[in-house]
Structure 1
Amino acid sequence: MPQDTTARLTPPPAAPRPTGGEASGSRTRDPYFDNAKYLTIVLVACGHAWEPLTYDSRAATAVYLMVYAFHMPAFALISGYFSRNFDLAPGRARRLISSVVVPYLVFEAAYTLFSRWVLDNPGEPFSLLDPWYVMWFLAALFIWRLTTPLWLALRHPVPISLAVAAAASISPESGGDLSLQRVLAFLPFFVAGLTLRPAHFARLRTRRARLASLPFIAFVLCAAYAAAPWFDAEWFYHRKSVTGLDVPRWAGLLTTPALFLLALALTACFLAWVPGRAMWFTTLGTGTIYGYLLHGFIIKSARFWDWYDHRWVHTPLGELMVTVAAVTMISVLCTAPVRRVFRPLVEPRVDRAFRPLRK
């Protein structure tokens, strides 16, 4: 999602950028995907900002549940779509290290230091195998990209990846190192993105598809409102196996495909409503990796320093203001000035670490 220059609805370029972003490979862009990336990161930020509001607002909980049902799956699916040409050629391997591995190391260290400071806990451990907060997605993206050639070689990659996710959901030991539980749970969406073609998006970008999505969105929102008092959002976090959710282990074999289909349907509805023309926020879609990596500091600050303790925040007007603040925050973090300041950390130049490519 950093700076990229992707052509219209054409196959992705040779060296995809992290978290769904396309790499430089053409001089024209399709604003549809920049719009999709921006709106997806807005949902991520809003979801994180809404979480404290769910404790005493059924309406906020319903919206929160619906967004969490698909916003990270959409992130993973778009990432997969722009990883279709990835292989382990030296140039692409170098790009994977510089755009995913190095930022992971930098921001994992930064978040650890931040946590030590705000919690006044100098003993907070630094662990590369235990991603802090939002960092799990870069770890996941690294693993997904490494395995891309394998998925592309399979005849039926999506069902196989879904079987892997279902097996992980019933394994109580798969949630530790590198957030493996999440890596495997969201894997089917990344693999689904690998199988998509421009024609699939074209079918969604129609008036008929948008109108058809409305009854389904309304149904899911009503169902989320009805389930809000008792439904555990952990089902959408995928941080633990089903055995940690007080259900029988075999339930994971049913809930995994069910949640996959729900998220896929909601993602399709979301993508149907993404504008296809250039909007005021289109250029912000080129900097969403900045928003993703940086917004965690602000979200966690709000929790550590009790910004939500004010009673007015939990009123309807307060909830609206929290939403506006979240959208404003993530938009600012995706702007060009912010990208210029943080580019050495998010998109570091590490060419000297590699041998020259053979021509």
Structure 2
Amino acid sequence: MPSRSPGETDGPPTRPHRETRTAPADGGALGKTRSAKPRDALFDNAKYLAIVLVAVGHAWEPLRGESRTVTALYTLVYAFHMPAFIIISGYFSRSFDWSPGKIKRLITGVAVPYIVFEVAYTFFTRWSDGEPDRSISLLDPLYLTWFLAALFIWRLTTPIWRALRWPLPIALVIAALATLTPSIGKDLDLHRTLQFLPYFVLGLSLKKKHFEMVRRREARILAVPVFAGALIVSYWAVTRMNYAWFFHKSSAEDLAAPAWYGPVMTLAIFGCSTVLVAAFVALVPRRRTWFTALGAGTLYGYLLHGFFIQAANHWHWSHNDWFHTPLGAVTVTAIAAAVVTGLCTAPVRRVFRAAFEPKMDWAFRRQTPAHGQDQARAAEETPVPTPAPH
């Protein structure tokens, strides 16, 4: 089950990586510096690699039509990178409850960034898409912001899912029913929220032992033929299947398919994506690497790289025939990976921290020390998921 959990190691023991955080200043309480739990390198490595795939997937979008290979790779990436982010988000949301501290963190870490970037992307796309009259609508998530709207809903409902006896089957039924309902509309991108819900609930259900299973040497060896076989199937399916099913943002009717396809594809894609996420996590390095620290900044890379993608598309870079050659596609891939890597670095995070992690102590009631110690670890570890194309 691909999702990352804190404190897991593989092979010889490594020196734990610790970092200090400033405790949330709950209602004016002293923000004393305290030592956080050791960050598990596996999860930071996985988040970084997943966000690179997000950026690369967006860069490949204009190249899909003229290359079956690029389309096959694009389909494969979309089959697991978003589910991986969501499963991880669910895993790190297990401790969420409706206590004041957790609600504060949900608002400042998810709701406020959603509003900030919904407005920012609206103004930016007025220029990039040539739509000067585009209006701001907080109910219709624009481009990458849908994930924050969905995460807000998923995390807010976490106590409900944790209380149910069979949460995953119920989430799968809801996702299947969503594929039968074209009338859901665009409000808060509920199609994506409901159809991706099973992955979040799966993450909530995972335990450390599930990650230990995919950390074994046998799992890493098996992951290689799994991805090789998935790529072959993806290449075969390019001319036979609508890869938009992996975006989880439409009903069966919207995809010109019979209604009964929806529930069937929901179960089939869930099984396929879960296996691929497990294989992905199995292949992720367990130890600290040069990019481990970047895993803490994936939300920055996620939300900021969209401005570069939109600007590049505004200047019609894909109209250059060279980018449609094998070497051109490789170059585009490298540039996308380099840009999103830079956006996850500490200097960028310092510049934009106020937009991503506002303290907003003035907006909340003063809490007692008991509430002030509320664990915000889950929200802080939230990765950024991969958006479906706009």
Give TM-score, length-normalised by structure 1.
Answer: 0.92
What is residue 132 of structure 2 aligned with on the other side?
122
In 1: Cα distance, 2:236 partner to 2:365 partner: 58
Task: Please say which of residues 246-255 and 107-116 is displaced more in the overlay.
Answer: 246-255
Out of 212, 225, 250, the residue aligned to residue 260 of structure 2 is 250
Out of 231, 237, 242, the residue aligned to residue 232 of structure 1 is 242
8 Å CA contact 1:98–1:347 kept in 2: the answer is yes
What is residue 20 of structure 1 aligned with on the other side?
none
Q: Which amino acid aligns with 2:70?
A: A
- Confirm whether residue 280 of structure 1 aligns to residue 326 of structure 2: no
* Deviation of 1:27 (Å): 3.9
8 Å CA contact 2:300–2:344 kept in 1: the answer is yes
In 1: Cα distance, 2:286 partner to 2:246 partner: 29
* Deviation of 1:30 (Å): 1.1
Cα distance, 1:332–1:243 mapped onto 2, change above 3 Å: same
In 2: Cα distance, 1:229 partner to 1:346 partner: 41
Cα distance, 1:252–1:120 mapped onto 2, change above 3 Å: closer
Q: Which has the higher contact order (CA 8 A, sep 6+)?
A: 2
Task: Please say which of residues 114-123 and 306-315 is displaced more in the overlay.
Answer: 114-123
Out of 138, 163, 171, the residue aligned to residue 153 of structure 1 is 163
In 2: Cα distance, 1:314 partner to 1:119 partner: 22
* Deviation of 1:231 (Å): 2.5
* Deviation of 1:26 (Å): 2.4
* Deviation of 1:72 (Å): 0.4
Deviations 1:53-80 (A, max 9, x none): 1110011111110010111011100000
Q: Which amino acid aligns with 2:175?
A: A
Deviations 1:93-123 (A, max 9, x none): 0000000000000000000010112334321
Identity %: 54
Deviations 1:139-198 (A, max 9, x none): 000000011000000111111100100001111112410000000111000000001111
Q: Aligned pair count?
A: 342
8 Å CA contact 2:6–2:43 kept in 1: the answer is no
What is residue 353 of structure 2 aligned with on the other side?
343
Give the superposed CA RMSD: 1.5
* Deviation of 1:215 (Å): 2.1
Where in structure 2 are the equivalents of 1:132-143 lying within 5 Å? 132-143=142-153
In 2: Cα distance, 1:192 partner to 1:107 partner: 28
- Confirm whether residue 8 of structure 1 aligns to residue 7 of structure 2: yes
What is residue 40 of structure 1 aligned with on the other side?
50
Cα distance, 1:7–1:74 mapped onto 2, change above 3 Å: closer
In 2: Cα distance, 1:275 partner to 1:130 partner: 38
What is residue 202 of structure 2 aligned with on the other side?
192
Q: Which amino acid aligns with 2:196?
A: F
What is residue 82 of structure 1 aligned with on the other side?
92
- Confirm whether residue 93 of structure 1 aligns to residue 103 of structure 2: yes
In 1: Cα distance, 2:35 partner to 2:274 partner: 28
What is residue 73 of structure 1 aligned with on the other side?
83
Extract unaligned runs of 5+ from structure 1: 1-5, 16-23
* Deviation of 1:89 (Å): 0.4
Deviations 1:252-294 (A, max 9, x none): 1211011000000000000000110000000000000000110
What is residue 179 of structure 2 aligned with on the other side?
169
Task: Please say which of residues 297-306 and 65-74 is displaced more in the overlay.
Answer: 297-306
Where in structure 2 are the equivalents of 1:317-328 lying within 5 Å? 317-328=327-338
In 2: Cα distance, 1:74 partner to 1:52 partner: 24
In 2: Cα distance, 1:271 partner to 1:118 partner: 36
* Deviation of 1:230 (Å): 3.9
Q: Which amino acid aligns with 1:40?
A: A
8 Å CA contact 1:76–1:189 kept in 2: the answer is yes
In 1: Cα distance, 2:273 partner to 2:6 partner: 27
In 2: Cα distance, 1:356 partner to 1:107 partner: 28
Extract unaligned runs of 5+ from structure 2: 10-22, 24-33, 370-390
Q: Which amino acid aligns with 1:75?
A: F
What is residue 108 of structure 1 aligned with on the other side?
118
What is residue 326 of structure 2 aligned with on the other side?
316
* Deviation of 1:351 (Å): 1.1
* Deviation of 1:7 (Å): 5.2
In 1: Cα distance, 2:322 partner to 2:113 partner: 37
In 1: Cα distance, 2:340 partner to 2:241 partner: 28
What is residue 19 of structure 1 aligned with on the other side?
none
8 Å CA contact 1:80–1:191 kept in 2: the answer is yes
